[in-house]
Every structure is written in C-alpha cells, then in structure tokens.
Structure 1
C-alpha cells in the first residue's frame, strides 16, 4: 500500500531535521565545514546548505565564519546543548528499541564516585554482565559537579555518588543509602589510640579532589567542635597519590567508610576511632527528569537499589 502524501512529507521532513542536526554537530565538533564533510563523507556544499536551512528555520546565525573555520555564536552555543541532548536521546531510543526486542547490545554511560565504586560496584557488575554481556559499559570516575553537564546534555545516563546540595530542575535525585566517614592513617600511626578530634588537632591532613568537597567539610567539622582549622598538608588529585602517601607517612585522611570496608584495603589502613560523628552525604542516583532510561540502564539502577537495600539492613 502506497504511503499517503502527508505521511511521506512527514517522514522526509523528519529525516531532513535529523540530518541537519547531524551536520550541525559535525561542524561544531570539527570546527569547520570542510572537516565536517570529510568526517561525514559528504560534499561540502551539502553541509553548507544543511546549516543554512537550519539557520533560516531558527531565524539566527549558528556560526561565525572565519578564514580558518567557524565559531559558534551565542545562539549556536545554546542550540549545541539542545542538539547534543537530542542526538544522545535518539541513540538511546535506538538502544531501547533493540533491547525491548530482546537484543542485549547498546551502551550505558554512568558517573560514579568512590563510595559506590567500593561498596556497590563489586556486587552490581557481575549481575549486570550476566544479564547484558554485550552492553558497552562506560564508567566515568568523579563526583557530581564534574558530571552535571554530561547528565544535562544526555551523554551520561545517570550518576551514582554523594547527594549534591542542589540540582537543576531537569534532574532528579533518588537516595540509595545514608553514609558516614572514618579517619584513616598508616598501620602503627602514633595517633592510633586517639579518641577525639581534639587529640588530632596537631595532625597533618591530606585532602583530595576526588572526595566530596573535602576542604569545605573537614574545616567546618573542626570548627563545630571548637578546634582550630586542620593543617591541610597535601592535596591529592587521584586515589593513587593518597594510597601511597598514607602508608608511608604520618598524614591522616577523612574518607567514606567504604575505604575501610573494601577487602583489598582493609589491612592497609589504621582507623582512628574518634567519638565525634563524621557524617557523609547520602549516596544517591541522579538522572534526568521525565526521560526514561533504556532497559539496560534501568536494570543497572535496579541492581544498585537491591545492593543498597542490603547496606541499609546491615
């Protein structure tokens, strides 16, 4: 049965729009029409026409043309965020359709901080791989501020880690479990028998950019208990730095309790058990509001909730 003219026109228009978005993203990413055409395997005039039609429809220029290439205008920068989100959502829809038909391939991209890496990942990964062995799983290490942009533009499915203080309206937060911290030093640390933060007032501390606002939380904790500001002697940019620094020095760190619970690290550090409570932000899932995850990504979150349930009971 032949397509009706109206349905045919809708299909052609949709194809043209998606191609225009593809061309726009290629020019923005490659910095010029020539490079975009080479990347896409299309003729330069076709790319130029596509961008011109898109600009005409939007009523604004998306690029400033220069001798060495193009640069996004303010409107182009705003449109880039929308176009990127649409591009990722189309890919997500493609993956979802295949997974609903029984396919087990596609991609899941998530951000994950240290605590869920140590506490949840060892249980979740084997179960996820058993259900979706051919899914390409991309895990981005980091705390929420580093991945917010990726969540908003759709390049990341969800984030697992300390609850952020606030999120944009396009995102929603689901708590998995409450968390706490411990103070760690090397085995045989001279302050190993300390019972309070006051006894640690003269200690030197490591902070790290991979924990959640380390400086902002260690300082107020000391202030809350009427102590002078802690002596911050080192800032580590990676876990490797403090994993080697702690066992070979008298430096201390305040870290999520998962560092002490993880089997490979349990015998590496000495916990200094102070009487003061050392709260940590709850671990949560952050994902976009109103946009469903693919079956594979949703299954990963289901496994996270299940593992978190065991933690809450414990």
Structure 2
C-alpha cells in the first residue's frame, strides 16, 4: 500500500461526518450496515462518501453486488480517517470526564510476560490515581498494536521497539531482553545446538521473520528462515502458541521473561542454541502527533515507578524476572 502523509489542513477541509461514513463503511462492509451503525439513512451515508470523493478528487469505494470494496486511495485515506475520528472521540471523552458526564477509558497494549509479572502492581497503582478510568488491554504483538496505535484504538503500547517507525512514534525504552528457542519437554530436537540443525523443524511464531530488516533476530533467525524456508505457522495470541508448543512438535521463539515463566508452568524446555540472537528493546510507544491524556501519563508514571521499585526487590519471583531482562531505566530518570 502506498504511504501518504496528509496535510492536517487538508484533513480539516473534509467534514467529520464524511470521515465517519468512510470508517463505518469499511467496518461494516456495506452502506446499509454503515447506516445502521451510525443511525443515519443509507442515502445520507452515500451522500457523505460522494462528497468526500468530490473533495479529494479520487474514487474511494467500489460498489459491488457482494458489498463495498475500498480502492487503494480509499485504504490510505481510511487510515487517516480512523486516526482523526479516534482522536476527536478521545478528546470528547476526556472533556466528558472533566465535566463528570462519563468515565474515561485507557487502551494499552501489554506483552504476555509483563501481564504475568508486573501488570497487577502497575494497574493497582494506576487505579489509586485514576479510579474512574477503565483500563482496556490488548496483547502487544507488532502486527496488532502498530495498526491500532495508528488508528487511535490504542493509547499506548508496551512492546518491542520498531526502529523503522521512530519518526512516527515516541518510544521510551524500558527493558532489553534476549530470545530463546522453546519446545515441549522431550522434543526430539531438544538437544540441538545450532539453527542449522533445526532446518526441518516446524515453528509457531507471531510473524514470519524471513527477510526482516528491522527484526529482533535479524542477524541469525531471519537468515535461518531465508536460507532453509522452514514451515512456519502464525499465531497472534500467546496462549494459542503456548498450547501448540506444549502439545505438538512445533518450536517457537520467545523473549526470555516469557520462556522462564512457562518452563515449569507448561512443561517446556529451552534448546541450547549457540547462535547469537540479538536482544530486543522493549519500550512504551505512543503516537508522536497525538498528545497524551492525563490517564496515559499516569499509566506511564505507574509503569516506571513499579519497574524501578521491583528492580531492587528481594522477592524471589521479581529477582528471577529481572535476571531475564536488563532494565533500561536509570535512577536519574525518576528524579
């Protein structure tokens, strides 16, 4: 898809109801369904989209007997429309909170291993400061969180830093962690020491690493994928991948904090692979062009406070967790 950076003035020239109509059509698949979703008539939705097409000078949707298809231009504009509609909805929500009309919502992407370790304390601290704000969590896989950050569905995400998006997003480093090759206990390849020995393996991953230029394991694992083209299945949920690893001969790649948590719990083992796998940097990410609300700032503060306190904890579980990661927050940032 062609990337398009639209001038904010250009977006302002479009009317909000036109952008909402485009989003509703994309989400519902037809003008009739979009009308139901927005409580407008089909004629009003059709008129809004035609006005929008006249405004931009290109065709945005193609009407077919099976429904509506967005053109390439429509797909590009849809991304900006989602963000614009989402930002304005967030602004209205925040104003309603100040006016006492409703409770706020904060949507955050969280990696599974953080959800299993420090998230409880982070959420507890956040709720003490923002008791009227509802938290909504998503699993922070890049394939899920980057589009949701772009369209405004997510306010924040904690996960792997993605260097190619450094201009689009603000990324605050939290951790650095390595990756492990994981299998069920007793796996026939459990004693393998090189990726080459795994060339016939079948994998369950959260994305296809072949040819990645910005991946967490670009120097070893992506080369392995490109060279041997192993069988790779994709899962966008950690619980599904974990169950498949435990019940089949699928291998997987996991950040060490998650691998450590699941070794005993789910009967998994780590293969003694000697090939060097680069570390991944984990960050808090949000859109550069969208101002952070009070709830987002509070969640960031709570996250950093819990990390700093836990890094010095004598609790055995926390000490084990911090042996699997390197904390990138220093004491000076807390002052």
Q: Pick which of 81-90 and 105-114 moved more.
A: 105-114
Q: 2:172 is paired with a residue of what secondary structure?
A: strand
Work out the CA distance in 2 between the residues paired with 1:133 and 1:181: 36
Contact 1:170 1:288 in 2 (8 A): yes
CA offset digits 1:251-276 (Å, max 9, x no partner): 87653232355499569556678898
Contact 2:182 2:268 in 1 (8 A): yes
1:109-258 alignment, distance < 5 Å = 109-167=107-165, 169-181=167-179, 197=193, 207-210=203-206, 213=209, 217=217, 220=220, 237=235, 239-240=238-239, 243-244=242-243, 255-258=254-257
Change in Cα spacing, 1:255 to 1:82, as seen in structure 2 (3 Å) is: closer
Q: State the number of aligned residues.
A: 294
Superposed displacement of residue 182, structure 1: 5.2
CA offset digits 1:171-209 (Å, max 9, x no partner): 2221012223456666799999x8x947x9689977432
Over the aligned positions, Cα root-mean-square deviation in angstroms equals 4.4
Report the counterpart of residue 35 of structure 2 in structure 1.
37
Q: 2:175 is paired with a residue of what secondary structure?
A: strand
Report the counterpart of residue 79 of structure 2 in structure 1.
81
Q: 2:95 is paired with a residue of what secondary structure?
A: helix
Superposed displacement of residue 284, structure 1: 0.8
Contact 1:162 1:284 in 2 (8 A): yes
Which 5+ residue runs of structure 2 have no aligned equivalent?
1-11, 313-321, 323-335
**TM-score, normalisation: structure 2:** 0.66
**TM-score, normalisation: structure 1:** 0.70
Work out the CA distance in 1 between the residues paired with 2:177 and 2:89: 35
CA offset digits 1:68-96 (Å, max 9, x no partner): 55433333222211111111001111122
Contact 1:104 1:135 in 2 (8 A): no
Change in Cα spacing, 1:58 to 1:233, as seen in structure 2 (3 Å) is: closer
Contact 1:111 1:158 in 2 (8 A): yes
Which 5+ residue runs of structure 1 have no aligned equivalent?
1-13
CA offset digits 1:34-67 (Å, max 9, x no partner): 3333333333333333333333333333333445
Work out the CA distance in 1 between the residues paired with 2:57 and 2:135: 40
Q: 2:279 is paired with a residue of what secondary structure?
A: strand
Report the counterpart of residue 299 of structure 1 in structure 2.
298
Work out the CA distance in 2 between the residues paired with 1:241 and 1:32: 32
Contact 2:107 2:136 in 1 (8 A): yes
Report the counterpart of residue 8 of structure 2 in structure 1.
none
Change in Cα spacing, 1:82 to 1:270, as seen in structure 2 (3 Å) is: closer
Work out the CA distance in 1 between the residues paired with 2:223 and 2:77: 46
CA offset digits 1:205-257 (Å, max 9, x no partner): 77432489599849827999xxxx99x79867354466456667898765323
Q: Pick which of 80-89 and 211-220 moved more.
A: 211-220
